[in-house]
Chain A
Amino acid sequence: MSGRGRTALRGLAALGAALGLPLALLALWWVASEDSTHVYLPPLRDILEAFGRVWFSETFVGDVVPSLRRLGIGLGIAFVLGVTGGYLLGRSPLLRGLASPALAYARALPPPVIIPVLLVAVGIGETTKIVVIALGALWPILLNTCDGVRDVDEVARETAAAYRLTGWTRRRLVLRAASPRVFAGLRQALGLAIILMVVSEMLMSTDGLGFTIVQFQRSFALPEMWSGVLLLGVLGFVLAKLLELVERHALRWHRGMTGRQESST
């Protein structure tokens, strides 16, 4: 009992720490905006009222679910491509030199420039939105993995040579050693992917959270728009927490190997 009780208590404490500041900020916002007459900055009361009205309805299923699906697929593709590409680039200076200009070129183009090209290439369906999300979320994962692999590769190569390790064993060793960097990239990519989800749904959409927020904005339904922004924040928070759980699980060995304490971020 005592062990379980302590875990529960620790969980509560962590939850309290996590929710304390956001709640305090919300309270501050509530008080500051209480008698706001500014049409673009409605009182938080109105926003929360709109939140209940808009998102606790079929809108949630009709808009949030498709958005989450796009987000999941896009981020998944970005992860696979990012880790594979990052690993290959990290291993080979030659490849890095060859591919860097093209990658830098692609990175510099914002979605509003890419979307028209995608429109002609892949049409206006789900594919375009997923491609936009995947393309944008790819870079943090790719660069972080590439740099992480580059960091450990030399050491790993010497180690592997000393122990006569070959092929997959060595690849696994390198990727594992680089995994803190991979997760840093994934964390970056998650935030970016949510933003890109909204951006990709601004064009040629008929559903989705981003689509709904933009429609509210365009029809000056501002409390409703802000409620959508709040929902995005909640979504980001929940997904980041999930990612953290995965990461803690995946990096247990890393902390164990290097004597790091259990630190919750």
Chain B
Amino acid sequence: MGTAILYEVVARVFFDPRHVPPLSDTLPEAVGLLGDPVFWTATWRTLLAAGTGVGIAAVAGIGLGFGIGSVPRLLRVVSSTLDFLRPIPSIVLIPALVFLLDITQITVLLVAVSCFWIVVFQVLYGVRDVDPVAMETARCFRMGRLARTVHVTWPTVLPYLGTALRLVVSVALALALTGGLVMGAAGLGELIWRSQEAGDVTGMYALVLLTGGLGVGLDLLARLAERRLLHWHVATRPEAAR
């Protein structure tokens, strides 16, 4: 609520309503959109692309992260390649990708690649943070590699993954929108693009408002999920009381 008031003040004081319309103009428009099936179809498509991408990224990122992270020698060989590939923006690869995949798939791929990097780096850092004393202890107890991963590494990495989860949901949404904005992929991004192309500023901001709301909703879900996953963890204990 406070944010809303702040936005309203900033919008009215600093901006021409023709460029950044105040909430009082965008809200009715946004409410109108909520009754429009086109909006819901687009939302569903965007969420589907984002969700599929996150799924791929989670599987690949967690698998690779643990695989590479638990073998120091492998990590030394692979990490330079990861650093080399990380900064390449998927957006410049789009024209080449058109020869392989259709626009919907490219959007999923954009999401998956961006999220994959987040997951894999969080896992790698988490694995590195494992307490060597605990690891030695596990070895003394003659635990196998798998058991050590499950009982020692996994609990250490989980908090890192919790952070990754919250980073990933917003990145996935932003990237799914970008697919619509730069490639016309069907979804909310495409609706925003259409309203931009038509010079419909109020309509565009109404969409942005709802998109941001969607982001807040997803973040809430992610935080709930994190709490379920980490209920044993010290950081979330005070939270659970709230």
Chain A residues 102 to 134 lying within 8 A of chain B, measured CB to CB, are: 102-113, 116-117, 120-121
Q: Is the CB of B177 within 8 A of A110?
A: yes
CB-CB under 8 A for A235 and B87, given A25-B81, A143-B166, A225-B92: yes
Residue contacts A-B, CB under 8 angstroms, 29 given: A14-B76, A17-B77, A19-B80, A21-B77, A21-B78, A41-B96, A101-B216, A101-B219, A104-B215, A104-B216, A104-B219, A107-B171, A108-B212, A109-B212, A109-B215, A110-B177, A113-B181, A116-B196, A139-B170, A143-B167, A151-B234, A194-B86, A198-B91, A228-B92, A229-B93, A233-B85, A237-B83, A259-B133, A263-B72
Q: Is the CB of A117 within 8 A of B20?
A: yes
A246 close to B (CB within 8 Å): no
Minimum distance in angstroms from B47 CB to a CB of chain A:
12
Q: Is the CB of A110 within 8 A of B175?
A: yes
Excluding A14-B76, A104-B220, A107-B170, 15 further A-B contacts by CB distance (< 8 Å) are A17-B80, A21-B81, A107-B174, A110-B174, A113-B211, A120-B15, A144-B163, A151-B235, A154-B237, A190-B87, A191-B86, A198-B89, A234-B84, A237-B83, A265-B124
CB-CB under 8 A for A102 and B3, given A188-B121, A240-B83: yes
The interface residues of chain B lying within 8 Å CB-to-CB of A108 are 170, 173-174, 211-212, 214-216, 218-219
Chain B residues 200 to 242 lying within 8 A of chain A, measured CB to CB, are: 208, 211-216, 218-220, 223, 233-235, 237-239, 242
The interface residues of chain B lying within 8 Å CB-to-CB of A228 are 92
Cα A14 to Cα B72 with chains together (Å): 12
Minimum distance in angstroms from A241 CB to a CB of chain B:
7
Minimum distance in angstroms from A54 CB to a CB of chain B:
15
A172 close to B (CB within 8 Å): no
Q: Is the CB of A100 within 8 A of B223?
A: yes
CB-CB under 8 A for A154 and B238, given A143-B167, A195-B87: yes
Cα A251 to Cα B92 with chains together (Å): 36
Chain B residues 111 to 168 lying within 8 A of chain A, measured CB to CB, are: 117-118, 121-122, 124-126, 128-129, 131-133, 159-160, 162-163, 166-167
B95 close to A (CB within 8 Å): yes
Cα A260 to Cα B128 with chains together (Å): 9
The interface residues of chain A lying within 8 Å CB-to-CB of B175 are 110
Chain B residues 13 to 30 lying within 8 A of chain A, measured CB to CB, are: 14-16, 19-20
Minimum distance in angstroms from A166 CB to a CB of chain B:
21
Minimum distance in angstroms from A160 CB to a CB of chain B:
16
Q: Which residue of A lies closest to B205 (CB)?
A: A117
Bitwise, B62-79 to A at CB < 8 A (1) or not (0) is 000000000010011111
Instruction: Work out how many contacts link A and B, with CB atoms closer than 8 A.
Output: 198
A184 close to B (CB within 8 Å): yes
Bitwise, A172-210 to B at CB < 8 A (1) or not (0) is 000000001101100110110011001100000000001
CB-CB under 8 A for A38 and B99, given A20-B77, A143-B163: yes
A169 close to B (CB within 8 Å): no
The count of chain B contact residues (Cβ–Cβ below 8 Å) is: 76
Q: Is the CB of A236 within 8 A of B87?
A: yes
A265 contacts which of B128, B160, B174 (Cβ < 8 Å)?
B128
Interface residues of A (CB under 8 A from B): 14, 17-22, 25, 38, 40-41, 93, 97-98, 100-113, 116-117, 120-121, 139-140, 143-144, 147, 150-151, 154-155, 180-181, 183-184, 187-188, 190-191, 194-195, 198-199, 210, 213-214, 217, 225, 228-229, 232-237, 240-241, 258-261, 263-265
Cα A252 to Cα B181 with chains together (Å): 45
Cα A102 to Cα B215 with chains together (Å): 10
Q: Is the CB of B3 within 8 A of A113?
A: no
Q: Is the CB of B79 within 8 A of A18?
A: yes
B198 close to A (CB within 8 Å): no
B31 close to A (CB within 8 Å): no
CB-CB under 8 A for A97 and B242, given A120-B20, A184-B125: yes
B104 close to A (CB within 8 Å): no
Cα A198 to Cα B78 with chains together (Å): 25
The interface residues of chain A lying within 8 Å CB-to-CB of B128 are 180, 263, 265
CB-CB under 8 A for A110 and B178, given A213-B92, A260-B132, A265-B79: yes
The interface residues of chain A lying within 8 Å CB-to-CB of B77 are 17-18, 20-21
